[in-house]
């Protein structure tokens, strides 16, 4: 049989497109995934204790886009979880992003918004242009807080100091002049009530979608017949690394199940200055699960493990652009997603890109 579409990768990008093409455009889809599961890095599963875990680190859905929220809400209800993160600084844990609440816990004294603005004004470093991830922070809060929260965490996380990384890396964290301790201020946030994997399973229910797990693109290219392809894997791999490898930051995850109801006060605790791990996630907070035991996950960043983060440096951007130029010459293959677009994208951005691509395909196919 000739499929209308081959989709490579059953992460969110691939699954949104498979769902749309099958259900909205009545196309046949062959969806191949090299791993033994769907949902990509958002994959979650119950472990032997019945506790939810996320195999590739903490994933919390959050978006400002009603379109994306409404779309995903066709396949799930949401558990209403609000994400909170604490950073271990010396002997105390303080909320991130930096806010009045952070400063009050750090310095054991009350601050008003005006006092905080004055505090930063005295310490911030003037920058005419924001050129890197360090500039973003020091131009807002100064060197002291930069050193405390960002410098070493970023080195651990990326193997690079913030001045070697694009501004977008640290722009992800706002600075707040109120006591809002939520990590994300997006109006829509939470986890799918039965998990990301269950949500994605529902997206793939159409009989027009043939899913093959444990199947690499190389196993079907040239063997299966299809009219067009959508590729959500690493773009450099698609071109057999002809121009060189796009580097990734890899993560290793160490899981522990403890005979205790609770390990830490919130879902994620960051360790900017101590230990060789960056953060610890306790999943039962995210899933609002009550259970006599708890599972936690230590996250280690390095050059081994799962390739997770495209590394946003100018040199990597140039290499990506060169691959992109090659991709643009192909009429019948579309590239979308965090790996194919080599971009530090959140889940909602990936869903939005996939929906946009579908709209484009619909009008041009």
Q: Give the binding site for ligand UDP (CB under 6 A).
A: 87, 96, 149-150, 153-154, 157, 169-170, 172-173, 270, 272
DSSP 249: E
Q: How far is the CB of 106 from ligand FAD (least distance, A)?
A: 25
Q: How far is the CB of 47 from ligand UDP (least distance, A)?
A: 22
Query: Would you list the DSSP string of 92-124?
Result: EEEEES--HHHHHHHHTS---HHHHHHHHHHHP
- Site for ligand FAD contains 42 (CB under 6 A): yes
Q: How far is the CB of 215 from ligand FAD (least distance, A)?
A: 6
* CB of 86 closer than 8 Å to CB of 105: no
- Site for ligand FAD contains 8 (CB under 6 A): yes
Please, which residues have CB within 8 angstroms of residue 199's CB and are 6 or more apart in sequence? 39, 72, 75, 76, 192
- Name which of ligand UDP, ligand FAD, none residue 308 binds, using a CB cut-off of 5 to 8 Å depending on partner kind: ligand FAD
Nearest to 196 by CA among 351, 43, 352, 9: 43
- Site for ligand FAD contains 347 (CB under 6 A): yes
- Name which of ligand UDP, ligand FAD, none residue 32 binds, using a CB cut-off of 5 to 8 Å depending on partner kind: ligand FAD
- Footprint of ligand FAD on 143-202 (CB under 6 A): none
- State residue 272 phi and psi, 5-degree precision: -65, -35
Nearer to ligand FAD, 11 or 312 (CB): 11
* CB of 353 closer than 8 Å to CB of 336: yes
* CB of 354 closer than 8 Å to CB of 11: no
* Binds ligand FAD (CB under 6 A): choice among 103, 145, 251, 311: 251
Residue 245: CB atoms within 10 A of its CB come to 11
Point out which span in 117-125, 142-150, 202-210, 333-341 binds ligand FAD (CB under 6 A).
333-341
- Name which of ligand UDP, ligand FAD, none residue 272 binds, using a CB cut-off of 5 to 8 Å depending on partner kind: ligand UDP
DSSP 50: S
């Amino acid at each position: 049989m000739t499929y209308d579409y081959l989709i490579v990768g059953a992460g969110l990008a691939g699954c949104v497109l498979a769902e749309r093409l099958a259900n909205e455009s009545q196309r046949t889809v062959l969806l191949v995934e090299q791993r033994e599961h769907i949902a990509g890095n958002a994959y979650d599963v119950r472990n032997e204790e019945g506790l939810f875990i996320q195999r590739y680190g903490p994933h919390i859905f959050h978006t400002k886009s009603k379109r994306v929220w409404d779309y995903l809400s066709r396949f799930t209800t949401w558990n209403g979880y609000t994400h909170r993160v604490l950073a271990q600084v010396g002997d105390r844990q303080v909320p991130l992003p930096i806010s009045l609440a952070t400063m009050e816990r750090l310095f054991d004294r009350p601050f008003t918004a005006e006092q905080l603005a004055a505090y930063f004004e005295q310490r911030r470093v003037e920058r005419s242009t924001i050129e890197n991830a360090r500039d973003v922070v020091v131009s807002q809060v100064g060197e002291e807080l930069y050193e405390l929260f960002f410098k070493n965490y970023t080195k651990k996380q990326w193997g690079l100091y913030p001045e070697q990384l694009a501004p977008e890396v640290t722009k992800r964290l706002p600075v707040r002049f109120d006591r809002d301790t939520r990590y994300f201020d997006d109006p829509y946030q939470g986890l799918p009530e039965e998990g990301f994997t269950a949500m994605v399973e529902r997206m793939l229910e159409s009989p027009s979608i043939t899913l093959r797990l444990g199947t690499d693109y190389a196993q079907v290219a040239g063997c299966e017949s299809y009219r067009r392809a959508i590729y959500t894997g690493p773009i450099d791999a698609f071109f057999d690394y002809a121009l060189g490898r796009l580097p990734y930051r890899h993560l290793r995850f160490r899981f522990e199940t403890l005979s205790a109801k609770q390990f830490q006060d919130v879902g994620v605790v960051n360790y900017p200055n101590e230990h060789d791990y960056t953060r610890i996630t306790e999943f039962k907070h995210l899933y609002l699960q009550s259970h006599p035991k708890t599972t936690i996950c230590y996250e280690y960043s390095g050059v081994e493990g799962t390739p997770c983060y495209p590394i946003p440096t100018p040199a990597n951007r140039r290499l990506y652009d060169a691959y992109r130029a090659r991709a643009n010459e192909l009429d019948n293959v579309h590239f979308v997603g965090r790996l194919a677009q080599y971009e530090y994208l959140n889940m909602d951005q990936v869903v939005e890109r996939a929906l946009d691509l579908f709209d484009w395909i619909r009008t041009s196919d």
